[in-house]
């Protein structure tokens, strides 16, 4: 397998080169078109959020990067290597990990089995100890059935298990949805830790007040298109506009 991260330093230089380049990405659910023409860039070590309303195409963008959409077109390049046409399992092996919106915890697996399910794809992932430091709740519940955990614990498990894999690009789909404020803060701290470790994160969010505490840049998605983008520094000046986009 071609290890794209081996060449990372030559491309990335001083943290500015594009890690992921998406051009004119289209995707369909059956006959209905979910993405029209998504274009966006993510640089090494960045935390980027995709903002937008329900059904705008944020989750579909993540699933398309991951190769989980059956029908997609356009271009998704990871360090210049085209991902369109790659099978989903091959994409994961290139060092991308995905945490789905519904958390995807398996009920027939214990917490420990859920945690160790995704295979290690690269060196440099977190050890189980480090994951338990981030999410102490998981440590005591290793032999519980996966879906017997609370919603917050399931979310921690869903994030924790992909941190083991050594993936350098982490895709998080609405990790704070429906969770208590204390847990949302905990997840926020975890995302900052990932950034300190030099991981790249794409975060799908509806809540830009949460997103602006973590992210470097934001893209706004509407009707399957990127309609706006801004750096985090530009957010305060654009609050009204963002509120209008998100309908809050």
Partner 1 sequence: MILIFGVPIQALTGQLMVGLINGAFYALLSLGVAIIFGMLRIANFVHGAQYMLGAFVAWFLLNLPNIFPGLGLPTIGYWVALVLAPLVVFGVGILIEFLFIRRVYDLDHAYSLLLTIGLTMVLEGAFRLKYGSSGQPYEIPELLKGGRNLGFMFLPYYRVWVVVVSLVVCFATWFMIERTKFGAYLRAATEDPILVRAFGINVPLMLMLTYGFGVGLAGFTGVMAAPIYQVSPGMGQNLIIIVFAVVVIGGMGSILGAIISGFFLGIIEGLTKVFWPEASNTVIFVIMAIILLVRPNGLIGRVAK
- Among 119, 181, 116, 183, smallest CA distance to 150 is for 183
Whichever of 45 and 67 has its CB closer to partner 1, that residue is 67
Stretch that binds partner 1, among 34-42, 73-81, 102-110, 205-213 (CB under 8 A): 102-110
- Contacts to partner 1 from residues 57-76, by CB under 8 A: 66-68
Q: Pick from 38, 40, 91, 215: which binds partner 1 (CB under 8 A)? A: 91
Residue 219 CA neighbour count, 13 Å, CB half: 24
Q: Pick from 10, 32, 54, 107: which binds partner 1 (CB under 8 A)? A: 107
Using CA atoms, how far residue 14 sits from 9, 123, 198, in Å, is 9, 22, 12
Q: How far apart are CA 40 and CA 200, in angstroms?
A: 14
Q: Cα torsion at 53, 56, 59, 61 (round to 10°)?
A: -140
Query: Contact between 224 and partner 1 (CB under 8 A)?
Result: no
Q: How far is the CB of 117 from partner 1 (least distance, A)?
A: 6
Whichever of 106 and 180 has its CB closer to partner 1, that residue is 106
Using CA atoms, how far residue 3 sits from 90, 147, 161, 167, in Å, is 11, 35, 22, 12
For residue 145, list its beta bridge partners: 110
Stretch that binds partner 1, among 14-22, 112-120, 128-136, 199-207 (CB under 8 A): 112-120
Stretch that binds partner 1, among 40-48, 85-93, 194-202, 218-226 (CB under 8 A): 85-93
Q: How many residues would you count in the chain? A: 248
Kindly list the residues in this chain that would bind partner 1 in the complex (CB under 8 A).
66-68, 87-89, 91-93, 97-98, 100, 104, 106-109, 113, 116-119, 121, 162, 165
């Amino acid at each position: 397998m071609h290890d794209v991260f081996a060449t990372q330093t030559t491309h990335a230089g001083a943290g500015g080169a594009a890690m992921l380049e998406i051009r004119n990405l289209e995707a369909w659910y059956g006959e209905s078109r979910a993405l029209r023409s998504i274009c966006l860039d993510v640089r090494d070590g960045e935390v980027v959020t995709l903002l937008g309303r329900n059904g705008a195409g944020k989750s579909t963008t993540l699933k398309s990067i991951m190769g989980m959409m059956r029908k997609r077109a356009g271009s998704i390049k990871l360090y210049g290597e085209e991902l369109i046409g790659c099978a989903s399992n091959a994409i994961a092996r290139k060092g991308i990990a995905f945490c789905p919106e519904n958390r995807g915890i398996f009920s027939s697996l214990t917490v420990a089995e859920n945690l160790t399910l995704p295979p290690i794809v690269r060196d440099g992932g977190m050890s189980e100890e480090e994951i338990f430091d981030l999410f102490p709740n998981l440590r005591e519940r290793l032999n519980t059935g996966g879906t017997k955990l609370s919603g917050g614990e399931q979310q921690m498990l869903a994030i924790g298990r992909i941190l083991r894999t050594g993936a350098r690009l982490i895709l998080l789909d609405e990790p704070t949805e429906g969770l208590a404020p204390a847990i949302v803060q905990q997840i926020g701290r975890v995302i900052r830790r990932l950034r300190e470790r030099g991981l790249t994160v794409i975060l799908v969010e509806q809540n830009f007040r949460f997103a602006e505490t973590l992210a470097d840049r934001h893209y706004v998605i509407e009707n399957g298109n990127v309609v706006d983008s801004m750096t985090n520094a530009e957010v305060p000046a654009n609050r009204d506009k963002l509120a209008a986009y998100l309908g809050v």
